[in-house]
Amino acid sequence: PSDSLKCLLAILRKTYGWNKPMDRITDSQLSEITKLPVKRCNEAKLELVRMNIIKQQGGMFGPNKN
């Protein structure tokens, strides 16, 4: 799977998996879950925000339901 998909699934696990709409998710946490380098996790996370798949409020990230 692509880096973005791996990061999206990790974000879903860190949020909905714990019944949270949003969570403070660091690139190093994503890297640990996805086994991708931290830099690629950051790029994938920002790409998901640009594509409006996840939303960002400060350091909090979560899936965009709309």
Does the pTM of the predicted model rise above 0.85?
yes
Q: Report the CATH architecture of 3-63.
A: Orthogonal Bundle (1.10)
41 class by beta-carbon count within 10 Å (0-12 exposed, 13-18 middle, 19+ buried): buried
CA–CA separation, 39 vs 22, rounded Å? 22
pLDDT at 15: 96
Mean per-residue pLDDT over the chain, rounded: 95
Q: What is the pLDDT of residues 4-59, one digit of tens each?
A: 999 999 999 999 999 999 999 999 999 999 999 999 999 999 999 999 999 999 99
Taking 80 as the threshold, does the pLDDT of residue 1 lie above it? no
- Residue ranges covered by each domain of the chain: 3-63
